[in-house]
Chain A
């Protein structure tokens, strides 16, 4: 008899500029672990993106580790793979540190000589293998290149990659893997990366995405209505909803309104009592007259907060005035807008757009509390150099960048 939990996309440390949301996010994870302890699971699978970035705020790490140690103290093993946010191209990321500290075990066991993926065996006898996710789906080719060793008994495959046939139409992912590329012979496929609960089967075995435990962006909060994880009892998955706060979503269609009319509408809305913890206001459309800048959104936000909301988000990225230049990008998240802009305006000759996106991701890393400016700059510099090395020597075994730099291929590839 085996019972385990499948958790993914916790993105701990997300909402760095909004303490309330950051706290809800952490609470959701803590609640998930608490339920796992209460339900006496044998082990927990974390299918990537436990943290929102490879070097999260130490306070966030502290809370996460406390929760996981609590689980370990209840004899619950934890197994994990990298997510696209956990991955650090230059050097060990926090997930490696936590594995070294035996907080959990990474289940990506690559055998270099054989080009094969090996299993980790849990004391219950269940075999677990996994593949980590990489930013911009650089991991997708692994699915066709690797030799997946066929499990001998009941087994779980953990992945952090969008499966094409399951990907909802409204989620844009340029690189996916087909469901046929997932290895054969597993009894459960534990997915991560897509922030929506999705279910399919492969040869009768469930292929599941849990969705996020809370979400990592305002888009998640706006669009995704389910937050939770699976508890799998005797191979029967049961979805466990995580409701650490209440959310109210208001959608205002401003198409064809004059700016004064929209202002009036928003005033009325902001004067209502708000019972929910999070108030998400989305305004979209093209104003018939006037510019969105003429509306005092900060005052509206203030009134909503006074009315009871702990945090308010006003999304007006799709609100335009008549005289504004036409925006060709219809994406809603910051990452997608950046991707669109790079596609729109291009990159220097010879520079792949994925490289540019990854570089942007590195340079966006914030200075964490207590980190000296020199260290922070050094971190950005190291990561950037590593990326450039990869661009210059994509097929080389040794990086050729800054002296003393850890070679890319030295990182993370050896079997434990």
Chain B
């Protein structure tokens, strides 16, 4: 059905006259020739002079007889500004390099227009193609293995469906062996301890590990032996001076795994590593505070239930092992102060990153699943304050080693531009703040310079996927997680018991 006609414009800014009786929305996808256009602005158009319009309006308002100068459907209309998104020729999608025919009629897209969109081998499902507010039955899958390594940014303000999107992505990834995922969950919202969540996936028992300080049945205890902590784990997490940082490394070099115990139990006045007593004293206080440590009779005692001294196991290696096996690990950090959460996340992330660097060195990186680390409020670790922490390092170098971030934020503008540009897939949800939209648009994989209004008008669950792994910035509608669970959850097989 004809929706309108091209009546002017230039490349990237085509003007389409809307046919009477039809409605064009911001974000609508239109098709003309082999090109798909996307509407980014709407305006009124009229054939009448301004004085005629004022006269007609005055007569109507003041109760005179209606004046008819031309047929109503001809004289006034809506114009849409549209940009070419993709040119499909012989089933191959390209960046459009020509204008569609002048005066050509445009139609609404239909599912056949997207036959060129293939499902990659290591697919990650994000949602369905959306034209304005109409959802098409065209699934949007990206090459998840590559996309994870190249980082994914999910920018949005509150209430636009970030958590729902992450749940839908995690659900899709649960059975997939090409990825190992670590989710740092400060709101304890993904596993579904008391509501539906990732735990309801049919393969969750085998593929999902849930760590919590207070685990439900089947969950693992989140307790970290402080002896696993290394000086580099504290970098960018706890604020220390250069002298204090050096002091930690001096103790590490002398005492290796016992460095923390040695540092905390050393009398600052008598230390023999050439460290100033005041430096050591302040450092001891900072570490005690950060790790909830009391000194009892000269011995280290932990008073919290996260960092402990009495556990045998090596949770950091256990989690890294699981991720290397393609499992999905969710850490409930809801009861932790921010620095402890980041400390634990940093320890695990550092270990997995270290291993993957080794895998690259040994030439077996391609046999390993890609790693994705889901981190909320990403500017905490990726902002300037984060300094040289492991998340910064991964944001800059991770893709060489197949380790990537899935960074969620309301404040993209707080993340350095260089890092934003490194995040090669952005799943952009609605955002009213112009400064935030500008930061996202300025670092997107495709030209979104005209999409400011489009992004501002995104409703809950609507998004634009801008990625180097998509042919164009794809408008999508994300499935409602509850619907996904209702459709796919509960397919539990009967237990076959041996033993």
Interface residues of A (CB under 8 A from B): 81-82, 87, 89, 108, 110, 112, 115, 131-134, 138-139, 141-146, 164-169, 172, 174, 176, 178-181, 198, 328, 344, 346, 395, 397, 408-409, 411-413
Contact = CB atoms under 8 A, between A and B. Distances in A.
Given A176-B318, A180-B220, A169 B498 contact: no
Contacts of B317: 169
A144 B205 contact: yes
Contacts of A89: 498
Contacts of B101: none
Contacts of A397: 496
B436 interface: no
Interface in B403-458: none
Contact of A145 (B205, B325, B498): B205
B495 A145 contact: yes
Q: Is the interface of B mostly helix, strand, loop or mixed?
A: loop
Contact of B318 (A142, A143, A164): A164
Q: Quick one: which of B216, B312, B493, B499 has the most chain A CB within 10 A?
A: B499
Nearest to A164: B220
Contacts of A110: 497, 499
A413 B497 CA distance: 6
Contacts of B215: 178, 180
Given A145-B205, A165-B313, A181 B217 contact: yes
Contacts of A346: 367
B396 to A, nearest CB: 28
Contact of A344 (B318, B364, B499): B364
A165 B493 contact: no
Contact of A164 (B313, B362, B364): B313
B454 to A, nearest CB: 44
Contacts of A146: 495, 497
B496 A409 contact: yes
B201 interface: no
B218 interface: yes
A134 B496 contact: no
A119 B312 CA distance: 31
A169 B221 contact: no
Interface in B198-239: 205-206, 215-221, 223
Contact of A180 (B219, B321, B325, B497): B219
B246 interface: no
Contact of A168 (B313, B321, B494): B313
A166 B313 contact: yes
B312 A139 contact: no
B314 interface: yes
Nearest to B362: A328
A131 B314 CA distance: 26
20 contacts: A81-B499, A87-B499, A110-B497, A142-B495, A142-B497, A142-B499, A143-B218, A144-B205, A164-B313, A164-B318, A165-B220, A165-B223, A176-B318, A180-B216, A198-B312, A344-B364, A411-B498, A412-B499, A413-B496, A413-B497
B362 to A, nearest CB: 6
B305 interface: no
A141 B218 CA distance: 10
A166 B216 contact: no
B311 interface: yes
Contacts of B312: 166-169, 198
Nearest to B312: A168
Contacts of B495: 115, 142, 145-146
B256 to A, nearest CB: 15
Q: Quick one: which of B317, B325, B495 has the most chain A CB within 10 A?
A: B495
Contacts of A412: 498-499
A115 B312 CA distance: 34
A90 to B, nearest CB: 11
B499 A82 contact: yes
Nearest 8 CB-CB pairings of A with B: A132-B499, A169-B314, A178-B220, A180-B215, A168-B312, A144-B218, A413-B497, A145-B495
Interface of B: 205-206, 215-221, 223, 311-314, 317-318, 321, 325, 362, 364, 367, 493-499
Nearest to A394: B496
A174 B216 contact: no
A141 B495 CA distance: 9
A112 B497 contact: yes
Nearest to A163: B313
B352 to A, nearest CB: 15
B339 to A, nearest CB: 24
Nearest to A184: B217
A180 B206 CA distance: 16
Contact of A108 (B220, B325, B499): B499
Contacts of A176: 318
Contacts of A108: 499
B221 A165 contact: yes
Nearest to A115: B495
Contacts of B314: 169
Nearest to B210: A178
B369 to A, nearest CB: 13
Nearest to A138: B498
A337 B367 CA distance: 18
Contact of A165 (B217, B311, B497, B499): B311
Contacts of B367: 346
B498 A179 contact: no
Given A139-B499, A145-B205, A174 B321 contact: yes
Q: Quick one: which of A133, A169, A346 has the most chain B CB within 10 A?
A: A169
A328 B498 CA distance: 35
A185 to B, nearest CB: 12
B499 A134 contact: yes
A98 to B, nearest CB: 15
A344 B364 CA distance: 8
Given A180-B215, A180-B218, A134 B205 contact: no
Q: Quick one: which of A146, A176, A395 has the most chain B CB within 10 A?
A: A176
B218 A178 contact: yes
A174 B325 contact: yes
Contact of B499 (A131, A144, A168, A179): A131
Given A112-B497, A165-B313, A169-B317, A141 B206 contact: yes
Given A81-B499, A115-B494, A174-B325, 7 more contacts: A110-B497, A115-B495, A141-B205, A145-B495, A167-B318, A409-B498, A412-B499
A167 B218 CA distance: 16
Nearest to A145: B495
A89 B498 CA distance: 9
A81 to B, nearest CB: 7
Nearest to B313: A167
A344 B220 CA distance: 28
B15 to A, nearest CB: 55
A180 B221 contact: yes
B235 to A, nearest CB: 23
A134 B494 CA distance: 19
Contacts of B493: 395
Contacts of A131: 499
B210 to A, nearest CB: 9
A154 to B, nearest CB: 22
A134 B216 CA distance: 25
Nearest to A409: B496
B218 A181 contact: yes
A142 B321 CA distance: 22
A180 B217 contact: yes
Contacts of B364: 344
A168 B221 CA distance: 15
A413 B313 contact: no
A350 to B, nearest CB: 13
A89 B499 CA distance: 9
A295 to B, nearest CB: 28
B499 A408 contact: no
B202 to A, nearest CB: 12
Nearest to A112: B497
B313 A169 contact: yes
